[in-house]
Structure 1
Amino acid sequence: LERIRTCGLVPSRASAKLNLLTDGFNVDGGKPLNRQIILIGIGAVVAVVGGIVMLQLSQSEDAYVNENIISATSLEFKVDFTVATGQPVDVHFWAKNIGSPDVKIRVDGSVGSTDMDVIVDVGTGATWMRDTGSSWGSPKPPHNSELLIQSHLDMLEQYQERLSDWVEGDHYFTAEGATIRIYDIEVNPDLPDSLFLPDS
């Protein structure tokens, strides 16, 4: 993480949260999976995935850049990998109105048998979360709407950077001993507003 910070790849706002998550959710097997961290919501799961993505963002100046990803106004994709404990992590990510003040982001994810979802609507400042067996509701400590909005905007930016060299098909890379796959990638899909409401 220190290497990442010195390269400027992790916004300072996310650094403390990334420290917390990597302390309890180590894909390299150094520490066991921290269930308490998992249960605070999909924001944690995606932050872990986002953190892993951040580890691999360094590219040469001559690297291919997919301008369609960089300029996209909406994105949809899935992410999966397996942590050292053997539990699979699956994430489904949607974003709409990218590049505008009215960005909407939804993430549905799971770690093992635990499901966690989050919706953020930047334009209205509204955020919702739910986990296995629960209904949508306002974020609970240690989360709050401001933190969720900023962390998900950071994740969106990092995912766009990670996918900036994507050409077609599944996108694989390795970080911290895990193989991460980004797949079912859709650029500028038509995403209904209802997808970003808590009754969906």
Structure 2
Amino acid sequence: MERRRRSAGPGTERPQGVAGLAWSPRGFLLASSSNDRTVPIWDTLAGRTYKILCGPELRVDDVAWSPDGRFVVTGSADRTARIWSVVSGDEPAVLVGHDDRVHAVAWSPDGTRIATASYDRTVRIWDTRSRTEIGVVGVHRDRLTCVAWTADSRSVITGSYDGTVRVWKAEVDLDELMGPGPVPGLPCVDTRGTSRTHAATRRSVERARRLRA
């Protein structure tokens, strides 16, 4: 299973970069995100391509499956996330809201929400039924690189170039963080070796509010 693109030279090919991989819940389909703006779905039992999803304007950075194995969500350098039907190949929704590339995506274990992590330093939550944004639930001091859900689907964990891993409550929207009173403390691990509780600074929240506006 190799992604190849023909180069400018006659009769030559070079491999195309693969940015992300995700196994389907059933375990025999493998989705890959690629620099050539496609999302190939591989049938690993048959050893062939099952389907190739096309659509984003720029490279696809990440891919994740829905818990029922019917859909995949992708994050792209064109600042969007997209939900695809694996069976039909249709593109049901384009999730628009981030101001920079969507570098990581994750589908909640209960299937109801998607988390997107972006180079705009925010993590956003989306409703999978209405295909709309629920809210911005967290902001880092630098670009986000990865995102994952807790098993109970109540919180998301993000990693960033700011050197921290942070936990955010999926129900807390930025408007709540901007409300009166102290900003709630959020668990944080500094990947440089220091564990602490991070109280989200008013400046960081204000920055995310401006990005959301």
Structure (1 or 2) with the larger CA radius of gyration = 2
Q: Is this a same-fold pair by TM over 0.5?
A: no
**TM-score scaled to structure 2, two decimals?**
0.28
Name which structure has the greater RCO, CA cutoff 8 Å, separation 6+.
1
When you count helix as a share of all residues, which structure comes out higher? Answer: 1
**TM-score scaled to structure 1, two decimals?**
0.29
